Amino acid sequence: MINLYNAHISSLSIHRVGNKSRNEGILLSAEPFKTDDELMPLLKEYFLKPFRDKEENYYQFTHDTDLEFHELHSLVTEIFEDPQKSHQHSKKIATYLFDQSLHPHIKSGEVYVAYFEGLQIDNEKVDGVGIFKSELKQDFLQFSEGENQLQAQLQQGVNLNKLDKGALIFNVKSEEGYKILSVDSNRYDARYWLESFLGVNAFEDENFFTKNYLKFCQNFAKDVVLPAEDKKQEVMFMNRAVNHFAKNDKFEESAFMNEVIDNPDLFPEFNNYKAEKAPKYSIEDLTSFPIANTAVTAARKKIKNIISLDTNIQIKLDFINPESAERFVEKGWDEEKQMYYYLVYFNKEQKS
């Protein structure tokens, strides 16, 4: 879990890179950017707000041979070792980004390299390096006063409410490739930022495993539980799965299966489905791992607990009190109407 509110920017460098395939140039600033007390809070919010509003999906630098051959990893490491040289290394980072700007759709823009102090991740205060890029410009009117006349000029600038691209690299897990967050608002070439420039893969920690295992369970519920039973049991299976994750600090697959799968016939189906689908979720041979509460909370928000019927009626099941659905909702078949039905028991209607 991260906390970015107390972070501050200790140094900032700004450069401009063009599209190399279109013979656009690169402008490297000679000195670090000198800002004032009015602009710096706005820039900090511009850089960090997208990461506060985003699900924490961490990445890490990766290389087929060894991380020592990963150019961006080496540059970031040198900045962490000597933050006083961050501007010097920021030029190399901008040049490296320019060298990756070969796709004809890639837009020119400003590159910001910031050194942060006071970032908090997993209850630990650490430094960080932020690499950001602004690409899209917006029109705005600039007004000036003349003698008895107000003048207006059309200009272009960067919208501080939307960051186009960004990476926040925390100074933790350096030997594993650091923990990195990334945003990319303009996905006209998805490979450009994450693959070509950053060169990252998903960081395989408890957040990664918790999120992926719950995604696997959600698809098992849709592909196996729903066809074998019904929509109610699909919803209840996922409710039991999420509740199991929520009340445990560590995941043990055998305990999970015994608690969550209430139909014995689904045990072999679960094992077969995992054997087939596990590579998709990177959970091969994964039977035990620490549980990340933030990933459980995020998954719970995405799980649908509504049964939608073709008669334009919806039944919403309560995830807080799942035993109510088990005790008070029954499914049956009406021979006369040749239709399924749900029978719902209650004492009185609640006021909405």
Dump pLDDT digits (tens) for 305-341: 888 889 999 888 876 666 777 788 888 999 999 999 9
- pLDDT of the residue at 320: 65
User: 292 versus 147: which is more confidently predicted?
Assistant: 292
In this prediction the pTM is 0.79
Query: What's the average model confidence in pLDDT over 229-254?
Result: 92
pLDDT band at 285 (very low <50, low <70, confident <90, very high): confident
Among the candidates 188, 203, 218, a domain finishes at: 203
Dump pLDDT digits (tens) for 174-231: 999 999 999 998 877 778 999 999 999 999 889 899 999 999 999 999 999 999 988 8
Q: Which domain holds residue 94?
A: 2-203
Residue 326 lies in a domain: yes
Percent of the chain with pLDDT over 90: 66
Query: What's the average model confidence in pLDDT over 121-148?
Result: 91
Query: What's the average model confidence in pLDDT over 32-57?
Result: 89
| 348 pLDDT more than 90 | no
Q: Are 178 and 240 contained in the same domain? A: no
Percent of the chain with pLDDT over 70: 99
Residue 350 lies in a domain: no
Q: Which of 63-77, 208-222, 337-351 has the lowest mean pLDDT?
A: 337-351
Q: Are 198 and 239 contained in the same domain? A: no
Q: H/E/C letters for each residue in the chain?
A: CEECCCCEEEEEEEEEECCHHHCCCEECCCCCCCCCCCHHHHHHHHHHHHHHCCCCCCEEECCCCCHHHCHHHHHHHHHHHCHHHHHHHHHHHHHHHHHHCCCCCCCCEEEEEEEEEEEEECCEEEEEEEEEEECCCEEEEEEEEECCEEEEEEEEECCCCCCCEEEEEECCCHHHCCEEEEEECCCCCHHHHHHHHHCEEECCCHHHHHHHHHHHHHHHHHHHHHHHCCHHHHHHHHHHHHHHHHHCCEEEHHHHHHHHCCCCCHHHHHHHHHHHHHHHHCCCCCCEEECCHHHHHHHHHHCCCEEECCCCCEEECCCCCCHHHHHHEEEEEECCCCEEEEEECCCCCCCC
Residue 36 lies in a domain: yes
Q: How many domains does the chain have?
A: 2
Among the candidates 156, 180, 203, a domain finishes at: 203
- pLDDT of the residue at 57: 85
Q: Are 194 and 62 contained in the same domain? A: yes
